[in-house]
Amino acid sequence: MIIGVPKEIYPGERRVALVPMVVPNLVKAGFTVRLQTGAGVEAGYPDAFYVEKGAAIAPDRASIFRDAEIVAQVLCYGSNDVTGKTDLPLMRRSQVLIGFLRPLGSVEILQEIAGTGITSFSVELMPRTTRAQSMDALSSMGTICGYKAVLIAADTLPRIFPMLTTAAGTVTPARIFVIGAGVAGLQAIATARRLGAVVSAYDMRPAAKEQVQSLGGRFVELPIEAKNAQDARGYGTAQDESFYAKQRELLARVIADSDVVVTTAVVPGKKAPVLITADMVKAMAPGSVIFDLAAERGGNCELSRAGETVIEHGVTILGAINVASKVPYHASQMYARNLTAFLLNLVKDGEVRPDTEDEIIHETLLTRGGEIVNARVREFFKLPELAAVR
C-alpha cells in the first residue's frame, strides 16, 4: 500500500506530513512511502534522507495523487482554504486522505471534498482518549504554538524576561499572563517560566488551576463561574455574551499589569471570544506585547488581525497564523509520529478499515462514498442524519 506525501502548498507552510525517521516503521508494516520531491526540504529533511530510510521520490504532485492509496498531508483542502482547492481534481474515489481538514469550518468545502468520493480522515476529530494520545496532532501543534508564541513575544518585548542582578543594578522580571490554559497555554506557561518570567494564567475550566500551578504559574481566579465549563471531550464550552463581558471586566486589571499577554481561548467550531478590548489594550504600558494565538479563529483581542502585527497605543499585537509552521522540523516530526500511529491502527493486513467499530477510526472518518459521514460534523452543520452512520 502506497502512502503518498505531497509538498505542502499553503502559502508559507514549511511542514511536511511524514519525516524520514518514521519511514522504517511504515515500511516494516508493509507500506511504501512515496514523497513528492522536495516536500521535506523546508522542514530540514532533504529527499536523500527519505531515500536512506527506504522511501521513494516522485517527481510531481499529480503522480503522488495518481499512485497513492493513502495521501498524507498537513493542511489539506479545508484547512488550506487559500490554495487547497487545486487538489480537488487530483483526489480519487478509491483513495484515502489524512490531515487537517477543518471539519467544523466550511460545510461547502467539506461537500466539495466529499464530492470527489475520497475517504478522508480529519486529525482534528481525534478522540481524547489515552489510546489516541499518540495520534493527537492538535495537541502536538498546540505544544509547538505555545512554545513559539512566547519566544516571539520575548523577542518583541523591549524588556528581558528574567530577573537579573548585575553591577548595573537589578532588573525586574517580565510579567506574563496566559489566557486559556489548554495544551498551547500550558506550554506557553512552561516556556515563559524557563525564560525566567513571572507567570500567571487563567482558564474558565477550574480543572486548569492545578495544571497551571504544577508548572509554577499563579492561577488567576475570577469570581465568576462558567456554565458546564468543560464538555465531554475536555474542551472549554461557549458561554453567553454577558459571561464574556464579565470576564473582560475582571481581567482588565491583570492585563494592564502584564508585560506580555498570550491568549489561546477558543471553543471548537465557534469564533473565539473577545476577552481584550481596545480600551484594555490602551491601559497596558507602552512596549507591552499581546500574542493572540486565537487570531486565526477571530481573535481574543479586539485589535488583532489574523496574520498581521498591529501596533496600537504603543502595544504590539501579534496575530500570526499557522505558528506551528515556524518550527517546521519538530512540528513535522511530531505530526509524522501522530500520523504513523494513526496509520498503523487504520490499516490491518494491507486493508484500510473504515468500517471498524474502533472509535479512533470512526470518530475521525469525515467523508466517504460521496458523503460527509461523520455524525458529529453532520450534527454541527445540522445535516440530516445518515442512516449508515453510527
Residues with active-site annotation = 128, 133, 136, 139, 235
Ranges of H-type helices in the chain: 23-28, 47-52, 61-67, 107-115, 137-156, 183-194, 208-214, 241-256, 278-282, 328-346, 359-364, 375-380
Q: Is residue 204 near ligand NAD by the rule CB under 6 A?
A: yes
Nearer to ligand NAD, 173 or 236 (CB): 236
Q: How far is CA 77 from the centre of its chain?
A: 16
Does 352 interact with ligand NAD (rule: CB under 6 A)? no
Closest CA to 82 of 8, 140, 5: 8
* Cell matching residue 386: 445518515
Residue 265 sits in the site that holds ligand NAD (CB under 6 A) = yes
Residue 205 contacts ligand NAD per CB under 6 A: yes
**Taking CB under 6 A as the rule, does residue 110 contact ligand NAD?**
no
Q: Which range of residues in 32-40, 102-110, 182-190, 311-319 is near ligand NAD by CB under 6 A?
A: 182-190
Rule CB under 6 A: say whether 197 interacts with ligand NAD: no
What is the sign, positive or negative, of the torsion defined by CA atoms of 118, 124, 130, 133? positive
51 or 250: CB nearest ligand NAD: 250
Count the neighbouring beta carbons within 10 Å of the beta carbon of residue 202: 25
7 contributes a contact to ligand NAD by CB under 6 A: no
Q: Which of residues 15-74 bind ligand NAD (CB under 6 A)?
A: none
Does residue number 173 form part of the binding site for ligand NAD (CB under 6 A)? no
- The binding track of 142-161 with respect to ligand NAD, each residue x by CB under 6 A or -, is x-------------------
Count of residues in the chain: 390
Find the binder of ligand NAD among 139, 288, 333, 364 (CB under 6 A).
139
Supply the minimum distance, in Å, between the C-beta of residue 76 and ligand NAD: 20
Q: Please enumerate in sequence order all residues whose Cβ is within 8 A of that of 67, keeping only pairs 6 or more positions apart, or say none.
A: 2, 4, 34, 58
Cα gap 81→92, rounded to integer Å = 20
Residue 226 vs residues 81, 175, 177, 184, 240: alpha-carbon distances, Å: 33, 26, 20, 21, 9
Q: What residues make contact with ligand NAD under the rule CB under 6 A?
A: 128, 133, 136, 139, 142, 179-185, 203-205, 208, 234-236, 247, 264-267, 273
